[in-house]
Amino acid sequence: MTSLLILNGPNLNLLGQRQPEVYGHTTLAEIEDTCRQVAEDLGARVDCVQSNHEGVLIDAIHAARGLHDGIILNAGAYTHTSIALMDAISSAEIPMIELHLSNIHAREEFRRKSYIARVAVGQICGFGPEGYPLAMRAMMVHLAKISENQHDA
Ligand code: DQA
d(CA 13, CA 8): 8
Per-residue confidence band for 37, with pLDDT thresholds at 50, 70 and 90: very high
Would you say the CB of residue 136 lies under 6 angstroms from ligand 1?
no
Examine the pLDDT at 125 and tell me if it is beyond 90: yes
- Which whole number is the average pLDDT over 51-79? 98
Q: Is 40 exposed, middle or buried (0-12, 13-18, 19+ CB in 10 A)?
A: exposed
Strand-pair partners of 123: 98
pLDDT of residue 153 exceeding 80: no
Rounded CA-CA distance 85/91 in Å is 10
Task: Compute how many other C-beta atoms are within 10 angstroms of the C-beta atom of residue 119.
Answer: 20
Using most ligand atoms within 8 A of CB, pick from 19, 31, 101 the residue to mutate for ligand 1.
101
Q: What does the chain come to in residues?
A: 153
Task: Kindly state the percentage of the chain with pLDDT values over 90.
Answer: 95
Nearest CA to ligand 1 atom 6: 77
Say yes or no to pLDDT of 55 above 90.
Answer: yes
In this predicted structure, the answer to whether residue 6 has a pLDDT above a threshold of 90 is yes
- Strands lying side by side in the sheet with 96-100: 45-50, 3-8, 70-74, 96-100, 122-125
CB contact at 8 A, 118 and 111: no
> What pLDDT, on the 0 to 100 scale, is given for residue 151?
83
Percent of the residues in the chain that have a pLDDT greater than 70, as a whole number: 100
Q: Is the pLDDT of residue 137 over 90?
A: yes
CA atoms within 13 A on the CB side of 82: 23
| Assessment of whether the complete model's pTM goes beyond 0.75 | yes
Q: What is the pLDDT of residues 81-107, one digit of tens each?
A: 999 999 999 999 999 999 999 999 999
The ligand 1 atom at the shortest distance from the C-alpha of residue 12 is 12
